[in-house]
Amino acid sequence: MDMDRLALDFVRVTEQAALSTVELIGKGDKIAADQAAVNAMRKTFATINISGEVVIGEGAKDEAPMLYTGEKVGSGGSNKLDIAVDPIEGTSLVAGGLSNALAVVAAAREGNLLKAPDMYMKKIAVGPEAKGVIDLEATPTDNLKAIAKAKGVKVSRLTVAILDRERHRNLITEVRNVGARVKLINAVDVGGGIATALDDMTTDVLMGVGGAPEGVLTAAALKCLGGDMQAQLCPVNQAEVKEALQMGIDDIDQIFKLNDLVQGEDIIFSMTGITNGEILVGVQEGQTHSLVMNSQTDQAGAIRELRTNHNQASITAQLCG
C-alpha cells in the first residue's frame, strides 16, 4: 500500500469538506454546515482507489444518509481500509464563526480501528516525550508528576488542555492545585490531543471526558506522531452499554491503550482548518491549510503541511519534523 500517495488522496477529502463550509461560517446553522461537509467528503472518497468502510462516522444508517457507520466508500480496489471521519470537528464553532473548527479523517487497514460507539470517553493523551508514563487509573496529580519527570520539567511548567465543561470542575481544580496550567478548550478535543505532540504548541497533555469517536481520531494522529494515549468508555445508561457490546466491546470498563484504539502500522491522518485556530489557518480566499501524516514515513513523527490554493490549483508542501 503506497501510504504517501494515499495520504495525499485523503488530504483532498478534508480540503473539500473545509471548502464546502465557507459560505456557512457564522450563519448559525450547524446542521447545514455539517451536511455540506459530509456531501463533499463522500463525493471525494468516491474518487479514491480504496475499498473503505466507515467505522467512525455520522451515526447509524437510520440516522445519517451518508458517511454512516458501516457505509462503504471509495472507488474499489485492493486497499481495504477502516475509515474514521469527522466532517466538522466543532459544528457549533462553524455556526458561530468561532475559532478552531476542523475537518478530520483517519484510516487504517481493515479491522485496525476501534469501532467506538457514539458516547463519552475518558482520555489522557501526551506527546512522544511522555510516551509510556501515563496511566488513566492514576490520579491527575500522579499523571502530571510522571509527565513532568519524563519531560524534565517542573509540574508548574505543564499545560493541560481540558474541555470547558461543568463535568470537569473537579479535574480543573486538581490540575491547578498541583501547580499546572489549564488551557480550556471549547469544542475540539481532537485538536487538543494532537497539540500535545506538536513541537510548536504549548499543550503538554489532554485530560478529561469527550467523545469516543473523537478519541479514535486522536489516537490515529498520535500513533503517527509517536505520542501516547489511554481511554475508557463512559456510558451514561444501559442503552449505551448495549450499543458497545453490539459493536464488539466485551468489557465496558476496559482501559484502551493506544494500540487498542488503533492497531497496526499503516495509519493515515489528515485534517484541514475550517476556521482559524491554534494549529491551522482556516479557509481564506480559496486557500486551505492542512496537516497530513502517515505512520510509514521515513522520518518518525514527520508531518506534511500543505497550503493549497484551489483557485490556481497550485500546492506548496513543507515537511516538518
pLDDT tens for residues 208-232?
Answer: 999 999 999 999 999 999 999 999 9
Which triple of cell numbers denotes residue 131?
510516551
- 120-261 has which CATH code? 3.40.190.90
Rounded Cα distance between 320 and 70, Å, is: 34
Residues of the chain with pLDDT > 70, as a percent, come to: 95
CA distance 143 to 122: 14
Q: How far apart are CA 4 and CA 195, in angstroms?
A: 22
8 A C-beta contact, residue 214 and residue 192: no
Q: Which of these, 262, 215, 256, lies nearest to 86 by C-alpha position?
A: 215
63 is in an annotated binding site: no
Helix (H) or strand (E) holding 79: none
100-130 b/e with 16+ CB inside 10 Å = b? bbbbbbbbbbeebbbbbbbbbbbbbbbbbbb
Query: Do residues 305 and 199 make contact, with C-beta atoms less than 8 angstroms apart?
Result: no
Give the pLDDT of the chain (321 residues) as one tens digit per residue.
677 889 999 999 999 999 999 999 999 999 999 999 999 999 999 999 999 999 999 987 767 789 999 999 999 988 999 999 999 999 999 999 999 999 999 999 999 999 998 999 999 999 999 999 999 999 999 999 999 999 999 999 999 999 999 999 999 999 999 999 999 998 879 999 999 999 888 999 999 999 999 999 999 999 999 999 999 999 999 999 999 999 899 999 999 999 999 999 899 999 999 999 999 999 999 999 999 998 875 454 578 999 999 975 444 444 444
Closest CA to 36 of 24, 47, 26, 44: 24
Which residues of the chain form CATH 3.30.540.10? 3-112+265-320
Does the annotation list 89 as a binding residue?
yes
Q: What's the CATH number of domain 3-112+265-320, 3.30.540.10, 3.20.19.10, 1.10.3720.10, 3.40.190.10?
A: 3.30.540.10
> What is the structure's pLDDT at 188?
78
Asked if residue 204 belongs to a known ligand binding site, the reply is no
- For residue 71, say whether it is annotated as part of any ligand binding site: no
Report the pLDDT value the prediction gives residue 320, as an integer from 0 to 100.
Answer: 46
How much is the pLDDT for 65? 84
Residue 4 to residues 237, 304, 317, Cα–Cα distance (Å): 42, 10, 13
Distance CA 40, CA 99 (A): 21
The response to whether 265 counts as a known ligand-binding position is: no
Computed over its alpha carbons, how large is the radius of gyration of the chain? 18
